[in-house]
Amino acid sequence: MLLKLAWRNIWRNKRRTLITVATLFFAVILAVVTRSMQNGTYDSMIANVVSFYYGYLQVHHDGYWEERSLENSFAESDSLLQEIQSAPSVKTVVPRLESVALMASDSITKGGMVVGTIPSLEDEMTGIRSKITDGRLPERSEEAVLLTEGMASYLNLHTGDTLIIIGQGYHGAMAAGKFSVCGIVRFASPELNDQMVYLPLRTAQYLFSADGRLTSLSLDLDNPASMLPEKKRLQKMLGPDYEVLDWKTMMPDLVQAISADNAGGLIMIFVLYIIVAFGTLATLVMMFAERYHEFGILESIGMKKRQLALMVFIETIILSFLGALAGMIGAIPVVFYFYINPLRFTGEAAEGYRRFGFDPVLNASTDPMIFINQALIVFLIAAVLSLYPVLKMQRLKPLEAMRA
């Protein structure tokens, strides 16, 4: 009976009902779009940085990440590569041999990072071919280098010139070689663009006297959400002789930047929740004032206060549910529009993004939990505020209410 009465009461005053539902409707849409934009930006930042070089996961010999020395390299193994690639979530595995060395051209020298890699796999994971501004990728076993734009500019080198690399190889061996520059590549990240030199893997292994050895395996994943389960699986499979690191461990600065920005976003959402709470409370106060006379009559003819309170509570819960559900459904086309048509920055703002290695795009995330969480939070706020008319009902005086 109370449920039927509550449902009929809701539609007795359509204007009040529509105002309440509209308040919650727009609140949910605004909250969902705000969080979707924020999370989408974070996903884009992570994808950009991960796809530049690191990958979502990296496999090293235990202790390598602390010292990053060739002495902590491990033996290349086809069976190991096949076992890692067999995982359904692993998209690409890029074997690398990495070491610091001195780059020289005539009388100019500069320290940098030499990366021995398989060019085709490197392109598959990082899209390095699309970043080449001059020349081409080296062939699989070619004695040629791909220079980053910053390194090439500093050494005054161009495609076809010769680069000299001098360093220390595996077990202290001398590493020295002359290589033709086959291409120039430009990275958006200044850190990478100023110091990277790419060699084919076999050429780098020969240069550093590290035949058949690797310093890392970089993994690209089909689904970033599978990163932690895949990390646990690999660590268990490889044992204590290897370490499996995710991008969060390798790039703590990015994690801190996202956390700081996320805190600011949560403050904005919290302010929105406060506005929603006051708007909803004002609607409930208006409803109680308009029906004060009605409540007095209902109690005077025998309806108990607890029944009245429960009826009003049910009405508010229904209105809250309808508003939150409508807002969640209404937010779907808005979010998908920005997902398909992301906002693009121009001018100085775009340059600022590119300077730090990020695409100047504001993406939207379509994670279903964003819609569900925001609708649920707004619903809970309204549900808690529904206690206001319930408490007021306990102090209702029938004679006073009927005179109102």
Place of tokens 């320290």: 111
Distance, in Å, from the CA atom of 329 to the CA atom of 284, rounded to the nearest integer, reads 24
How far is 326 from 329, CA to CA, in rounded Å? 5
Whether residue 165 is contained in a domain is answered as yes
- Specify if 347 maps to a domain: yes
* Per-residue model confidence (pLDDT) at position 351: 66
- Cβ–Cβ under 8 Å, residues 90 and 219: yes
pLDDT digits (tens, 9 = 90+) for 143-197: 999 999 999 999 999 999 999 999 999 988 999 999 999 999 988 777 778 889 9
Indicate if 297 and 384 belong to the same structural domain. yes
Residue 214 parent element (H or E): strand 213-214
Least confident of 43-52, 169-178, 239-248, 269-278: 43-52
**Is residue 365 within 8 Å of residue 198, measured between CB atoms?**
no
- Here the tokens at position 239 are 């044992």
Q: Phi first, then psi: give them for residue 97, nearest 5 degrees.
A: -125, 120
Q: Is 396 left (phi over 0), alpha (psi -120 to 50) or beta?
A: beta
Which one-letter amino acid corresponds to residue 139?
Answer: E
**Across 378-397, average pLDDT:** 78
Residues 203 and 169 in one domain: yes
Split at pLDDT 50, 70, 90, the class of 224 is confident
Task: Give the C-alpha separation, 58 to 272, whole Å.
Answer: 40
Residue 133 — very low, low, confident or very high, per pLDDT cuts 50/70/90? very high
pLDDT of residue 355: 60
| Residue 196 in domain | yes
H/E element, 134: strand 132-135
Please check whether residues 178 and 133 belong to one and the same domain.
yes
pLDDT score, position 287: 74
Domain contains 54: no
**Where does a domain end: 239, 272, 292?**
239
Quickly tell me which residue has 């795009």 as its tokens: 361
DSSP string over 275-344: HHHHHHHHHHHHHHHHTHHHHHHHHHTT--HHHHHHHHHHHHHHHHHHHHHHHHHHHHHHHHHHHHS-EE
Half-sphere exposure of 264 (CA within 13 A, CB side): 6
Q: With a cut of 70, say whether residue 211 has pLDDT above it.
A: yes
Residues 228 and 285 in one domain: no
Task: Note the pLDDT of residue 16.
Answer: 77
Percent of the chain with pLDDT over 90: 31
Same domain as 262, residue 121 = no
Instruction: Provide the pLDDT for residue 158.
Output: 93
Q: Confidence class of residue 110 from pLDDT cuts 50, 70 and 90?
A: very high
Q: Are residues 162 and 21 in the same domain?
A: no
pLDDT at 354: 61
pLDDT digits (tens, 9 = 90+) for 13-71: 778 788 888 888 888 898 898 888 888 877 777 777 777 788 889 999 998 988 888 99
Strand 196-200 versus strand 57-61 pairing type: unpaired
> How far, in Å, CA of 372 to CA of 376, rounded?
6
Same-domain check for residues 398 and 286:
yes
Distance CA 255, CA 258 (A): 5
Cβ neighbours around 117 below 10 Å, total: 25
Q: What is the Cα–Cα distance from 131 to 187, expressed in whole angstroms?
A: 7
Helix H or strand E encompassing 218: strand 216-221
Token pair in block for residue 133: 């501004």
Residue whose C-alpha is closest to residue 208's, from 168, 178, 181, 164: 168
Residue predicted with more confidence, 191 or 222: 222
Looking at the structure, tell me whether residues 317 and 225 fall in a common domain.
no
Q: Which residues, in sequence order, are CB contacts of 21 under 8 Å at separation 6+?
A: 319, 322, 323, 326
**Domain shared by 71 and 220, yes or no:** yes
Model confidence pLDDT, tens digit, residues 308-339: 777 778 888 888 888 889 999 999 999 998 88
Distances in Å between the Cα of 267 and the Cα atoms of 35, 273, 274, 319, 321 are 12, 10, 11, 27, 25
- In sign, the C-alpha dihedral spanning 123, 127, 129, 134 is negative
Task: Decide if pLDDT at 92 tops 70.
Answer: yes
Strands 343-344 and 361-362: antiparallel
Looking at 210, 239, 268, the residue that finishes a domain is 239
Both tokens of 381, joined, read 């706020």
Residue with tokens 């939990």: 369
Q: Are residues 190 and 80 in the same domain?
A: yes
Helices (H) then strands (E): counts for the chain: 17, 14
Domain that holds residue 34: 2-49+254-403
Please determine, for residue 390, whether its predicted confidence score (pLDDT) is greater than 90.
no
**Domain end residue (candidates: 206, 239, 272):** 239
Structure tokens of 23?
């308040």
Instruction: Give SS3 for 100.
Output: strand
Whether 298 and 401 have beta carbons less than 8 Å apart is answered as no
Per-residue pLDDT at 404 exceeds 60: no
Q: Residue type for 291, please?
A: R
99, 215 in Cβ contact below 8 A?
A: yes
The reported pLDDT for the residue numbered 338 is 87
Same domain, 360 and 385: yes
pTM: 0.71
Question: Both 103 and 22 in a single domain?
Answer: no
57 within domain boundaries: no
Number of domains in the chain: 2
Pairing of strands 108-117, 196-200: parallel
